[in-house]
């Protein structure tokens, strides 16, 4: 009887080792699978606020290769469960800043007067037109 129990224990141990090996292989595959940029962006898109998407688009235009790498790495972190909360614009901006790639964002100067909001160029045109 002891011999039968030993055989059962060995088989059980073999099965456990096999299962552990398979699960570790699966985890390794998830983290090392190379995805194309579009699938990585689709994964990441759900974790970006609207401002973060805007900043990432500007970064993609200015630094395409770096932005591609950043998107793939952030998507990997999302898949591994390291990123659980949405990323805001400041975070995305700061990531590129820390990497040494400052993202230049378009700036607008607006003038608010009498309940109207106008950009500076149109306001100045109107003021010059009034003076003539």
Confidence (pTM): 0.61
The β-bridge partners of 103 are none
Looking at every residue in the chain, the average pLDDT score rounds to: 87
The β-bridge partners of 48 are 87
Query: Which pLDDT tens digit goes with each residue over 79-124?
Result: 988 999 999 999 999 999 999 999 999 988 889 988 889 888 888 8
Instruction: Count CB atoms within 10 A of the CB of residue 70.
Output: 21
pLDDT at 33: 47
16 is written with which tokens? Answer: 């456990």
Instruction: Count CB atoms within 10 A of the CB of residue 77.
Output: 16
φ, ψ of residue 86 in degrees (nearest 5): -60, 145
Q: Over 4-67, what HEC string results?
A: HHHHHHHHHHHHHHHHHHHHHHHHHHHHHCCCCHHHHHHHHHCCECHHHHHHHHHHHHHCHHHH
Q: Name the packing angle between helices 89-99 and 64-79 (round to 10°).
A: 120
Cα separation, 9 vs 27, whole angstroms: 27
Cα separation, 122 vs 128, whole angstroms: 10
């Amino acid at each position: 009887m002891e011999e039968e129990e030993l055989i059962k224990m060995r088989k059980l141990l073999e099965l456990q080792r096999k299962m552990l090996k398979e699960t570790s292989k699966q985890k390794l595959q998830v983290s090392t699978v190379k995805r194309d940029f579009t699938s990585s962006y689709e994964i990441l898109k759900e974790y970006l606020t609207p401002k973060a998407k805007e900043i990432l688009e500007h970064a993609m235009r200015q630094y395409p290769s770096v932005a591609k790498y950043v998107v793939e790495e952030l998507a990997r972190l999302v898949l591994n469960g390291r990123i659980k909360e949405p990323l805001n614009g400041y975070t995305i901006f700061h990531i590129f800043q820390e990497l040494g790639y400052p993202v230049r964002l378009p700036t607008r100067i607006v003038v608010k007067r009498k309940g109207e909001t106008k950009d500076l160029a149109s306001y100045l045109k109107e003021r010059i037109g009034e003076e003539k």
